[in-house]
Structure 1
Amino acid sequence: MDMRPEPFVPPAPIPRTVPPSRLEIIRTVFNNPLELWGEPSYTLPWIETKFLKERTIIVNDPGLIRHVLVDNAANYEMSEIRQLILRPILRDGLLTAEGPVWKRSRKAMAPVFTPRHARSFADQMLYKSEDYVEKYSGVGEEGEVFDISVDMTEITFNILSETLFSGEIVTESNDFSEDVDSLLHRMGRVDPMDLLRAPPWVPRLTRIGGKRVLGKFREIVAKTMALRQKKMRKNPGHVPQDFLTLLLELAGPDGLTMDEIEDNILTFIGAGHETTARALAWTLYCVANSPQIRKRMESEIDEVLASGAEPVEWMDRMPMVRAAFEEALRLYPPAPSLNRAAIADDEWTSPDGKTVRIRAGVTVLIMPWTLHRHQLYWDNPRAFMPERFLPENRGKIGRFQYLPFGAGPRVCIGATFAMQEAVIALAVLMSRYRFDMTPGTKPWPVQKLTTQPRDGLPMRVTRRVRQ
């Protein structure tokens, strides 16, 4: 008899059994697109749909995903609706740029994010994590409630600021996480005008409130750039050789324009840490509801820390910690949808002989949210089961059935950076403290730009008592 406890099934929308009306679609896409999808999205390899005369193919088949994102990636551009949402915020940042602008930016930034260079940030990641958790040092025996969603945004911002900008991001307030949340809430959601494909000059009433925060972020970037440029002029031999300096040194006719540099700095300040922050919060929440998993993670962390292993080694020496984070990425992918549009007619034939024809202009929607919970590709897909990602089981997971960082030419440039950051932060947090549920903790996943908990994630933090 199997005496293992049933795995925790965290909250998520139940697949619809009845197709929504046109009005329901608009309302749901505006409020929370995760609640839109029906059973076919979680059970079929692909689905063809039509809304407001626009055809969309929802793709879950790993082979077809590879075709779109890798094998014939040149035939697929960013979809119009995605750009209508993101470009007003990020303009020609790495997430939204296309064509020659994207190629220049990607090439320019690649050296900073090679796995070897990313590993060189490990000591800074550890230092900033240890510095941040001091905020919990005053908790008593009963513990204290913190909004972990906010805290993870702050800790990842601190790490990003130190590693990529040498701590020189010019922020003048302590409400950075609130500003990020406001920016994503106001600007990072679908407006009805987007669904109607109204041109960019048509006002998006839902985003008016976000322009002030966006302006604030732009001001932060401008001041940060100006401060570093001043240092580069006055004392060029003593300037931090970090991401910020690298970008500014690439300014010129053969490199990046100043506007492109500003857009990429904003992309990393405003969104570069956001995805990791959300996944860390979801990890702590799922672990709090999985006592056996937490026990294994704590034992692993204690053993590695006691061995004196350098932080650059932790990702390999803490397989359960890494697996828990990867499982949280599966259940709550920070980027829940990847939107493309076919440039020319295309077709793909599956191994069993079924052919999918994709006409020019058709939107191709690849959704990690449904793919990661799909019944064809995962056992017990709605359950939190980190063991899926332990080294002995990883070989069972296909490359294109798990896409927390995307795939193909536009795969997330910071994937290794994010994974290392997450393992180090979790190890520091869980080596000293326990994060437990409160009676009021009833998170619900909402898609803004990222998958985040509605109304935050209050958790009780107490000091760990080692046995």
Structure 2
Amino acid sequence: MDTQPAPFIPPAPKPRTTPPSTLEMIRIVYRNPLELWGEQTYNEPWISAKGAGGPLVIANDPGLIRHVLVDNAKNYKMATVRQKILRPILRDGLLTAEGEVWKRSRKAMAPVFTPRHIFGFAQPMLKRTREFVTRYEDGGTSDIAHDMTLLTYDILAETLFSGEIAGEPGSFASQIDRLFETMGRVDPLDLLRAPDWLPRLTRIRGRKTMAYFRKIVTDTVKMREEKFRRDPDGVPQDFLTLLLKAEGPDGLTRSEVEDNIITFIGAGHETTARALGWTLYCLAESPWERDRVEQEIDAVLAREPDPTKWLDAMPFTRAAFDEALRLYPPAPSINREPIVPEMWGDLYIPKHAAVLVMPWVVHRHRKLWDRPDAFLPERFHPGNREKIDRFQYLPFGAGPRVCIGASFAMQEAIIALAIMLSRFRFDTTSETKPWPVQKLTTQPQGGLPMRVTPRAL
């Protein structure tokens, strides 16, 4: 007799059954875009409609997604609305740059994210995680969402910046929350494609926070340049040094260097932090899955001291993380806009249409997944993961603009989960009632208060 418990159904907005009015839609998009989508969105291969800001195409079919992001990627630029949200924060950083600026930045950063370099980051990742988890030794309750922001910031600082980022981590975490709460939201005027000269309340509210991050970047660059002057041979060959060396007439401008630093400081750690928090939450609500992951971690750590081997050696741990990424993709929406109109099969995609490839929707699509709303890591177990279409699972995007740090993030996540779950158990409490909200990333509104207790091994 099968005694497998019913799978955990994590919290998520129920698909709408009636379309919202224009005013209601603007309110929902500002408050939480994840609550906007209706039943049709989760069932159809694509939807073509007239939106508040013009033509709208929602792409769910893996073939259509591949067409937009890979096969005809040259015809698609980042959507205007998305640029209006991100450019005030990141300017010409890798996430928002287009054309030649994007090519220069991608080329300059590629050497940092080769497998050899990423393996070299494993020991610093391990060291920082071990230091971080000492805070849990006496047990107690902690907001794991906040903690993971601190942990991934520590790892980012240690690996890409050799521990030399100006600013204080605790203040940084609260300022990140503030930045995403203000400038990270869709402004109603942008949604309506209002003229740029009309002031946006979201940007006005976020100016002070944006100035804080710009100062961190300026101070970080000054610290490194001073080190260059004092001891050129002793400068660490990290991400920051590589960017500064790429500066010049045929490379990056100083403003592009600074924009890419703020992209990685501000967004580079945030996505992994959110995914780690959601993973620990889903495992706590699925103790049978957590038991399997803990047993795997204990066995691997007992025989394999090299953290570069853990990702391949821990398929159940990786599967739990992948499933959390499916249910709560850190980047829930990929927005594109065609440069010239085109046809894809019977679908006409007009010029300037907002083309939405939404991992949040695709990952929960009724025609693509069995029991799409359930936490079922077995989808990603060996033998099952190979059956998943490359373009129905998009936690890191796809195509030329696929996340450059995907391998970095996967290694970081498995190392962090291995150390945390080998030493501590994370349980939900009566106060753990997260609600997924889209503010650039998929964040748990209300945080993730969890009880942490040392494991008796």
Q: TM-score range by the shorter chain?
A: over 0.9
Partner amino acid for 2:276? L
Contact persistence 2:153–2:169 (CA under 8 A): no
Q: Which residue of 2 aligns with 1:47?
A: 47
**Post-superposition shift, 1:356?**
1.3
Question: SS of the residue aligned with 1:189?
Answer: coil
- How many Å separate the matches in 2 of 1:96 and 1:437? 37
Q: Which residue of 2 aligns with 1:379?
A: 370
**Post-superposition shift, 1:231?**
1.0
- How many Å separate the matches in 2 of 1:15 and 1:258? 46
> Do residues 433 (structure 1) and 424 (structure 2) align?
yes
Question: SS of the residue aligned with 1:74?
Answer: helix
Question: SS of the residue aligned with 2:267?
Answer: helix
- How many Å separate the matches in 2 of 1:362 and 1:87? 20
- How many Å separate the matches in 2 of 1:137 and 1:259? 43
Q: Which residue of 2 aligns with 1:84?
A: 84
> Do residues 364 (structure 1) and 355 (structure 2) align?
yes
- How many Å separate the matches in 1 of 2:392 and 2:119? 26
**Post-superposition shift, 1:465?**
1.6
Q: Which residue of 1 aligns with 2:274?
A: 278
- How many Å separate the matches in 2 of 1:53 and 1:109? 35
Question: SS of the residue aligned with 2:371?
Answer: coil
Contact persistence 2:53–2:191 (CA under 8 A): no
Q: Which residue of 2 aligns with 1:399?
A: 390
Contact persistence 1:251–1:257 (CA under 8 A): yes
Pick aligned residue for 1:220 from 213, 216, 222:
216
Q: Which residue of 1 aligns with 2:413?
A: 422
User: 5+ residue gaps in structure 1?
Assistant: 350-354
Pick aligned residue for 1:313 from 279, 300, 309:
309
Question: SS of the residue aligned with 1:391?
Answer: coil
What is the CA RMSD across the aligned residues, in angstroms?
1.0
**Post-superposition shift, 1:430?**
0.5
Pick aligned residue for 1:242 from 222, 238, 243:
238
Contact persistence 1:433–1:464 (CA under 8 A): yes
Question: SS of the residue aligned with 2:305?
Answer: coil
> Do residues 57 (structure 1) and 57 (structure 2) align?
yes
- How many Å separate the matches in 2 of 1:373 and 1:200? 35
- Structure 1 segment 43-442 matched on structure 2, within 5 A: 43-52=43-52, 54-139=54-139, 144-172=140-168, 174-349=170-345, 355-442=346-433
Partner amino acid for 2:432? T
User: TM-score scaled to structure 2, two decimals?
Assistant: 0.99
Contact persistence 1:84–1:200 (CA under 8 A): no
Count of aligned positions: 457
User: 5+ residue gaps in structure 2?
Assistant: none
Partner amino acid for 1:238? G
Q: Which residue of 2 aligns with 1:352?
A: none
- How many Å separate the matches in 1 of 2:58 and 2:361? 10
Question: SS of the residue aligned with 1:365?
Answer: strand
Q: Deviations over 1:14-63 (max 9, x none)?
A: 00111111111000000000000000110000001112360100000000
Moved more, 57-66 or 385-394: 385-394
Contact persistence 2:161–2:239 (CA under 8 A): yes
Question: SS of the residue aligned with 1:272?
Answer: coil
**Post-superposition shift, 1:308?**
3.3
**Post-superposition shift, 1:208?**
2.0
- How many Å separate the matches in 1 of 2:310 and 2:72? 37
Q: Which residue of 2 aligns with 1:443?
A: 434
Q: Deviations over 1:151-183 (max 9, x none)?
A: 000000000000000000011463221111111
- How many Å separate the matches in 2 of 1:51 and 1:187? 22
- How many Å separate the matches in 2 of 1:206 and 1:86? 12
User: TM-score scaled to structure 1, two decimals?
Assistant: 0.96
**Post-superposition shift, 1:235?**
1.4
- How many Å separate the matches in 1 of 2:153 and 2:197? 32
Question: SS of the residue aligned with 1:400?
Answer: coil
